[in-house]
Every structure is written in C-alpha cells, then in structure tokens.
Amino acid sequence: MEQRTYNQYCATARTLDLIGERWTLLLIRELLTGPKRFGDLQASLRGLGTGLLAARLKHLENEGLARRIKLPPPARTPAYALTEAGAELGPAVLALARWGLRWAMEERRESETFHPGWAVLGLRACFDAEAAAGLHAVYEFRVGDEPFHARIGDGLIETVHGPAQHPDATITISDDAFLRITGHELTLTEAIESGAASAAGDGEALRRLGTLFRLPSPRRRND
C-alpha cells in the first residue's frame, strides 16, 4: 500500500504523514493504555477489517511507533506496544479527547458503538491534577461488566485496564448511566441515588472523587 504524503517540510505535515490515515490514531489511542493483542484491537475497533488492521499495525512498526512484544506469563501471547516515540503522542491524543468532549460530543448516533474501556484514557483526559494534590488513593471502576482502575498520587494519575488489587474505593455503574454522566445529563451522585450506580470504600477517597475529574462544558461549534 503506497503511503500518502503532504510533501511539506513542516513538523505538523510530517506528523500527519505518519498518523493521519484513517484508524491509525485510534490504534495509538488503544495502545496508550497498555499492550494489546491483535484480537483485543479487533474487539475495540469494530468496523476495522482484519486486513486493514494488519496493514495499519505494520505501518506503525515500520515507522517506529509500535513494536511486537510477548505478554508475560500466564498469557505468553504476541501483542503490540508503543515505542517511546509512539507513547509521546499521548498528550496530543488527550488534547484531542478534551477538545472532543467540549466541541464534538453531540447526542450519540444509533450507528455508534461504545466500549467501556475507552474510559481508561478518558479519565486521564478529565483529570484535575490540582484537585488531587496530597491524595494517595486507588479507585476501581466497573462500567457495565468491564473493570479498570486509577492510581492517584500527589497530582499524578495512572489508569489501567482490569481490577485493582487493593482499591480504596470502588464505583460500579451501568453503561447507560456512564454515558449520561459523560453527556452532562446526570451526575454520579444522582446515579447513585437512582440505583444506577453504587460506591463503596474509604470515606475520604469517595468524598474527593467528585473533584478529581472535570468534564469540559459542551459547546456548539456554530454558535
């Protein structure tokens, strides 16, 4: 497959030459939360055919943005992980996510899929480092049937797929309630009061949870 180019000696154009093709940046989004097997990427990126997925991964390998690895025991299966260069795209992806939350998240279309695992990166995009000053806590989230957790320490956040070993607080919420919170239709407190969500654990960790993640207020682009 011939690689298209803008033929401009410009850092922005050169970057888009590398990651501007359809699906490429979403592959990087998936790998920013940790190594993934080929099947994991297929499951998260529905609509991306097997052949095109293989081609995009090959492109990322050739350009030094991703590499093949073998997962540690007990998995011991091949997977893909970002290189240092690929991982440094993280702030750009988070900036796009924050922009999208403000300017692009209109009502969900019937054809659009939702994967709870995308919230792993979303938590980083909405994290308020100042509000987390002095806090050391592990939060486990269960959105639908998918668990992930956030480890917070002195204004820094690490988000990881899977359950936490010793969470300080656990939040369980339905897919629908989570989407309504994302769309500013519902607060977490309201979701808990209605039974669509539950929270348990350390009182201080739960009290500070409401200040740690700030969704940008949505705006209309044509206003």
Per-residue pLDDT reduced to its tens digit, 125-173: 999 999 999 999 999 999 998 999 999 998 999 999 999 999 999 999 9
pLDDT for 55-96, tens place per residue?
A: 999 999 999 999 999 998 887 899 999 999 999 999 999 999
φ/ψ of 115, rounded to 5, equals: -120, 120
As given in the structure block, the two tokens for residue 145 are 């049937």
Q: Is it the case that residue 2 has pLDDT exceeding 70?
A: no
**Residue 153 one-letter amino acid:** G
| 3-state SS string for 4-67 | CCCCCCCHHHHHHHHHCCCCHHHHHHHHCCCCECHHHHHHHCCCCCHHHHHHHHHHHHHCCCEE
Nearest to 89 by CA among 16, 6, 154: 16
As given in the structure block, the two tokens for residue 86 are 């690929």
Q: Is it the case that residue 1 has pLDDT exceeding 60?
A: no
**Strand bridging mode 136-143 / 169-173:** parallel
Domains of the chain (ranges, CATH numbers): 11-88 (1.10.10.10), 116-212 (3.30.1050.10)
73, 32 Cβ separation under 8 angstroms: no
pLDDT for 180-201, tens place per residue?
A: 998 889 999 999 999 999 999 9
214, 100 Cβ separation under 8 angstroms: no
What integer pLDDT is reported at residue 7 of this predicted model?
Answer: 95
